[in-house]
């Protein structure tokens, strides 16, 4: 038995992953999308697609009514929920079944049992699975919780009974912090899950996070697909995962995997799920069960050779498990790194993916929901893609991961690539010594000081700008060539100002001077943001794309540098020899600072005022030595594009 048509109630890389599995199995796929995802990759790949409405998730991907309408309109026989959104919603699963479609996941009743952490812990105890000492009794009053915290001994962990992802969770070091921690956890849990109930656990300090992949068919058959190490986390969100865990010897691996199977059998589990544990030395404790496919499932697929989505669909269609425990074997080592659109502080970001070139080669897999030219919405999870590498052993997999991360080229949105590269390069990661405090312990969440812009990156930026100049009317690039026969390009970077002097050296060749050193530069290729050039006879390659009206993003080596272009002052050409040169606004903006007064004598290059435009500040400087004759706009003034900002009479 199999399905003829399946609807994927999700977006991004997981929707793409399921749609591609459907293609291999001959199943027609149905995508759903919001207004923010009208041109998204998962919509483009599906056999048909249905709109869910506005970009806001509660009005689209979380709107059960609209999803059911899409199921009925499409005639889908089954629904795969992916992960996140409504993937663990028993109410949505029941709505799917009432609409006449099969739910690709555990039964709603099982989801309810394992979805509440308190009930899941009761199930674990019945199955003989170790649990963390704690309190989850019926009396959840603040006073009773405080008494139990004293009994357990500090530090303790306050946790939301419903949900996960670190929401509604507070670590408490002493009794003085306890009451406010409970109140804060309740507020967050109520807002996130509609359930403000909390419980207590003894805080296991500096543990590992190990999870076991299980699959059951609802007929009593349950197998494990071994474990994954998921200890490297940022704010309780996983960053890097691998299989198998480097922390487990054969005996401990057998014990923890058998415990996961016992738990799943006790729950009468059907379909794919993950049993999560905290590992403290040789001791492990049940944490929770995720009743869905996990983000990190590809590492399990690579070390077992099994297609988890294919297994999900077979079980959902009513087939018994096609394999037994003895059929599951480990093959090598796999590591996954999650690529997010976020800045160095971990704050989500959006924008247009100008360049998105993913690593390739033996043992490298990319699960992504984006291509170059796609917009990255800010309304949803910020994950762009997952890089998964596989090799015969862990040292080889670590080396492959480092190489693959260095091969990424992403421009247009900031990403966590620098963080991932720091993790992969760290000696403790190489040795497999990871815990849930890995990033903090090694200071990896602190961004390093900004790297100076390499001279080659400046030359590539200038060459790319001037390569376009003859066909452009842009005053920043074409203007200097046309008027002066030479150009001065000024860039601002974190470490200060960079100037590049440029002259034509011959057909297609430039003479560029940066940092006091001149080079002959020939642009060999410039297109789609990529630039390949010969610098003094040596070929170099990078990428240069606009990052805004006055910004360039330059990728060279493994680093991306943001350069702000400083437009040259515009001289009023209508009155040659005029007594004063008028400096005009290159675009509408606001005068945020006036640095001189009318009548002041200034030297060439003296900053006169600061203009804010497109959320960036630009310094307007004197084009020559002279006297400031006019400052039409004061601080705080709005100025239109082309307006004269200052007039400087030559000395």
List, by residue number, the catalytic residues.
292
Q: Judge residue 124's burial from the number of C-beta atoms within 10 Å of its C-beta, 0-12 exposed, 13-18 middle, 19 or more buried.
A: buried
Beta bridge partners of 391: 333
Nearest CA among 190, 268, 187 for reference residue 222: 268
Torsion-angle region of 535 (φ positive above 0: left; ψ -120 to 50: alpha; else: beta): beta
| Cα–Cα distance measured from residue 56 to residue 380, given in angstroms and rounded to the nearest whole number | 9
Please give the sequence-ordered ranges of beta strands (E in DSSP) within 404-558, or none if there are none: 409-411, 486-493, 496-506, 509-514, 517-527, 530-535, 538-548, 551-556
Pairing of β 5-8 and β 78-80: parallel
Beta bridge partners of 509: 506, 522
For the beta carbon of residue 575, count every other beta carbon within 10 angstroms: 11
The total number of residues shown for the chain amounts to: 651
Nearest CA among 81, 60, 104, 13 for reference residue 50: 60
Pairing of β 351-352 and β 375-376: antiparallel
Per the structure block, which two tokens stand in for 94? 């029941």
Beta bridge partners of 405: none
Pairing of β 78-80 and β 102-103: parallel
| Inter-CA distances, 427 with 338, 392, 442, Å | 20, 20, 10
| Cα–Cα distance measured from residue 617 to residue 233, given in angstroms and rounded to the nearest whole number | 36
Name the helix (H) or strand (E) containing 49: strand 48-53
Q: Is the peptide bond before 155 cis (omega within 30 degrees of 0)?
A: yes
| Cα–Cα distance measured from residue 172 to residue 185, given in angstroms and rounded to the nearest whole number | 11
Nearest CA among 622, 611, 619, 633 for reference residue 581: 622
Asked if 268 and 201 count as a contact pair (C-beta separation under 8 A), the reply is no
Residue 461 CB partners (closer than 8 Å, separation 6+)? 489, 491, 500, 544, 552, 554, 563
| Cα–Cα distance measured from residue 342 to residue 416, given in angstroms and rounded to the nearest whole number | 6
Per the structure block, which two tokens stand in for 243? 């299989």
Nearest CA among 270, 279, 275, 297 for reference residue 288: 275
| Cα–Cα distance measured from residue 39 to residue 229, given in angstroms and rounded to the nearest whole number | 35
Nearest CA among 115, 130, 292 for reference residue 201: 130
Asked if 563 and 552 count as a contact pair (C-beta separation under 8 A), the reply is yes
| Cα–Cα distance measured from residue 183 to residue 583, given in angstroms and rounded to the nearest whole number | 58
Nearest CA among 264, 185, 254 for reference residue 223: 264
- Rounded to whole angstroms, the maximal C-alpha distance in the chain is 93
Q: What angle do CA 98, 215, 21 make, to 5 degrees?
A: 70
Start-to-end CA span in the chain (Å): 89
Nearest CA among 288, 331, 257, 310 for reference residue 117: 288
Q: What angle do CA 226, 239, 131 make, to 5 degrees?
A: 50
């Amino acid at each position: 038995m199999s399905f003829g048509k399946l609807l994927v109630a999700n977006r991004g890389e997981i929707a793409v992953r399921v749609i591609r599995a459907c293609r291999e199995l001959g199943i027609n796929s149905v995508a759903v999308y919001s207004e923010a995802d009208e041109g998204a990759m998962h919509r483009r790949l599906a056999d048909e697609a249905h709109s869910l409405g506005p970009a806001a998730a509660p009005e689209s991907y979380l709107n059960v009514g609209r999803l059911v309408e899409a199921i009925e309109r499409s005639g889908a026989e089954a629904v795969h929920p992916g992960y996140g959104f409504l993937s663990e919603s028993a109410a949505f699963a029941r709505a799917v079944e009432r609409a006449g479609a099969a739910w690709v996941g555990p039964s709603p009743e099982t989801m309810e049992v394992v979805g509440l952490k308190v009930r899941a812990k009761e199930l674990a105890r019945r199955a003989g699975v170790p649990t963390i000492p704690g309190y989850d009794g019926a009396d959840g009053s603040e006073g009773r919780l405080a008494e139990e915290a004293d009994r357990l001994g500090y530090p303790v962990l306050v946790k939301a009974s419903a949900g996960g992802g670190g929401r509604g969770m507070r670590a408490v070091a002493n009794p003085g912090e306890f009451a406010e921690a409970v109140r804060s956890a309740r507020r967050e849990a109520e807002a996130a899950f509609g359930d403000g109930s909390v419980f207590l656990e003894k805080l296991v300090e500096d543990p590992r996070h190990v999870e076991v992949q299980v699959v059951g068919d609802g007929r009593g058959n349950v197998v494990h697909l071994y474990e994954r190490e998921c200890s490297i986390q940022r704010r309780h969100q996983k960053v890097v995962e691998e299989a198998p865990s480097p922390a487990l010897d054969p005996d401990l691996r057998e014990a923890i995997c058998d415990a996961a199977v016992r738990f799943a059998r006790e729950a009468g589990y059907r379909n794919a799920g993950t049993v999560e544990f905290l590992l403290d030395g040789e001791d492990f404790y049940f944490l929770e069960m995720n009743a869905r496919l996990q983000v990190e499932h590809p590492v399990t697929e690579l070390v077992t050779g099994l297609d988890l989505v294919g297994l999900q669909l077979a079980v959902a269609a009513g087939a018994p498990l096609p394999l037994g425990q003895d059929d599951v074997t480990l093959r090598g080592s796999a590591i996954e790194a999650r690529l997010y659109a976020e800045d160095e502080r971990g704050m989500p970001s959006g924008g247009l993916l100008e360049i998105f070139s993913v690593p390739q080669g033996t043992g490298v897999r990319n699960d992504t929901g984006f291509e170059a030219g796609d917009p990255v919405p800010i309304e949803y999870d910020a994950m762009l893609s997952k890089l998964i590498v596989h090799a015969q052993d862990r040292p080889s997999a670590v080396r492959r991961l480092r190489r693959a991360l260095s091969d990424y080229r992403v421009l247009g949105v900031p990403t966590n690539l620098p963080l991932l590269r720091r993790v992969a390069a760290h000696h403790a990661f190489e040795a497999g010594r990871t815990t849930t405090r890995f990033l903090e312990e090694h200071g990896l969440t602190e961004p390093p000081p900004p790297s100076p812009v390499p001279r080659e990156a400046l030359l590539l930026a200038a060459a790319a700008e001037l390569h376009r100049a003859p066909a452009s009317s842009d005053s920043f690039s074409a203007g200097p060539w046309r008027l002066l026969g030479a150009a001065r390009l000024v860039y601002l970077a974190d470490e200060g100002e960079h100037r590049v002097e440029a002259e034509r050296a011959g057909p297609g060749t430039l003479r560029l001077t940066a940092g006091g050193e001149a080079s002959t530069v020939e642009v060999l290729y410039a297109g789609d943001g990529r630039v390949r050039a010969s610098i003094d006879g040596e070929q170099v390659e990078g990428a240069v794309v606009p990052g805004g009206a006055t910004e360039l993003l330059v990728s060279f080596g493994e680093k991306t540098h943001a350069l702000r272009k400083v437009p040259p002052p515009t001289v009023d050409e209508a009155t040659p020899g005029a007594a004063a040169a008028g400096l005009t606004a290159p675009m509408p903006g606001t005068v945020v600072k006036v640095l001189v007064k009318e009548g002041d004598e200034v030297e060439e290059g003296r900053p006169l005022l600061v203009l804010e435009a497109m959320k960036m500040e630009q310094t307007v400087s004197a084009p020559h030595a002279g006297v400031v004759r006019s400052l039409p706009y004061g601080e705080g003034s709005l100025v239109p594009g082309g307006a004269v900002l200052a007039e400087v009479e030559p000395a």
